[in-house]
Amino acid sequence: MTTILVTGGTGTLGRHVTERLRAAGHEVRVLSRHTPPYAVDLRQGGSGLDAAVTGADTIVHCATSARGGDEQAARNLIAAARRAGVGHLVYISIVGVDRVPFGYYRTKLAVERLVEESGLGWTVLRATQFHDLVLTVLQGMAKLPVLLLPARVKDQPVEVTEVADRLAELAQGAPAGRADDMGGPEVRTFDSLARAYLKASGCRRAVVKVPLRGAAYDAFRDGGHLAPERAVGKGTFDEYLRKRFPATAPRR
Q: Can you tell me the mean pLDDT for 50-57?
A: 97
What pLDDT, on a 0 to 100 scale, did the predictor assign at position 118? 97
What pLDDT, on a 0 to 100 scale, did the predictor assign at position 183? 98
Quick: pLDDT tens for 126-162: 999 999 999 999 999 999 999 999 999 999 999 999 9
pLDDT, mean over the chain: 95
Pairing of strands 3-7, 27-31: parallel
What pLDDT, on a 0 to 100 scale, did the predictor assign at position 3? 98
pLDDT band, residue 249 (cuts 50/70/90):
very low
Q: Can you tell me the mean pLDDT for 223-251?
A: 89
pLDDT band, residue 236 (cuts 50/70/90):
very high
For 8, left (φ over 0), alpha (ψ -120 to 50), or beta?
left
Q: Can you tell me the mean pLDDT for 233-251?
A: 85
Q: Where are the alpha helices (DSSP H) in the chain?
A: 14-23, 47-53, 70-84, 103-116, 131-141, 160-171, 190-201, 215-221, 237-244
In a 3-state reduction of DSSP, which class is residue 184? Answer: coil
State whether the Cα torsion 163-168-172-177 is positive or negative: positive
**Does residue 17 register a pLDDT over 70?**
yes
Q: Can you tell me the mean pLDDT for 28-55?
A: 95
Are the CB atoms for 125 and 177 separated by under 8 Å?
A: no
Quick: pLDDT tens for 97-125: 999 999 999 999 999 999 999 999 999 99
Euclidean distance between CA atoms 193 and 129, whole angstroms: 13
Q: Supply the DSSP string of 189-221, one letter for each residue.
A: EHHHHHHHHHHHHTB--EEEEE---SHHHHHHH
Q: Which is more confident, 249 or 227?
A: 227
pLDDT band, residue 31 (cuts 50/70/90):
very high
For the entire predicted model, the pTM comes to 0.94
Quick: pLDDT tens for 186-200: 999 999 999 999 999
Residue 139, C-beta contacts closer than 8 angstroms, at least 6 positions apart: 197
What pLDDT, on a 0 to 100 scale, did the predictor assign at position 248? 55
Q: Which is more confident, 66 or 96?
A: 96
Q: Can you tell me the mean pLDDT for 79-98?
A: 98
For the CA atoms of the chain, what is the radius of gyration?
Answer: 19
